[in-house]
Structure 1
């Protein structure tokens, strides 16, 4: 699934860019608490970008596994919901956005479980 390698690489690029922006563009402009929240978003985005790349590479060895497809899409949705909500929370300080973050975390967890199952079943 070439799409997951591409989506993963784009997200890895964005994680590096957003990490640099947080370190150089936001430092001193937002409270330290929110800078840490930003860093958490960057860290999780990078880990899951690498997870997407792994899913894309593993998919070359496992033909037509819907488990891998679901795993990849949930990982991508997790990045959007988890990291995205943390980025917006950091710069707006709208605390209700923190209610979205756990949905991204659940998407991450389910995506990893699906990857485990696919690997155990097909790899």
Structure 2
């Protein structure tokens, strides 16, 4: 099991729980239903990819090649996809309308997720 991947997954998992609880309890009265749905999507994909990271950690101590690429693609995907959605959903209550420029970053995060899954499949295929 790869310690670095497990630690990253554990910290990102804790963050996913915090953001989920914050959305359900702290933002419910402040956000419009559509914004709250965007927040929920961010939390959902955040959790999915934390689980992907934990699965990736079972590939052993490999820290190079496809496993390492998948690790970074999933981690950056969480940052770009979920992070941009968290900020976009809160832009109105923060009064930061300029955060809407983050909209194009969300699909980049989605592409990073797809790349992470493809490299995970390739890593599994090459695993002995």
Question: Is the alpha carbon distance of 1:35 and 1:64 closer, same or farther for their aligned partners in structure 2, counting shifts above 3 Å?
Answer: closer
1:75 equivalent in structure 2: 74
Using structure 2 for the length normalisation, give the TM-score.
0.89
Using structure 1 for the length normalisation, give the TM-score.
0.92
**SS at the partner of 1:71?**
helix
Is structure 2 residue 33 aligned with structure 1 residue 28? no
- Residue 28 of structure 1: how far off its partner (Å): 1.5
Any stretches of 5+ residues in structure 1 without a counterpart?
Answer: none
1:117 aligned to 114, 122, 127, which one? Answer: 122
How many residue pairs align between the two structures? 121
Any stretches of 5+ residues in structure 2 without a counterpart?
Answer: 93-98
Root mean square deviation, CA, Å: 1.3
Runs of 4+ in 1 over 3 A off after TM superposition: none
- Residue 65 of structure 1: how far off its partner (Å): 4.7
Q: Distance in 2 between matches of 1:108 and 1:48?
A: 8
Deviates more, 1:87-96 or 1:38-47: 87-96
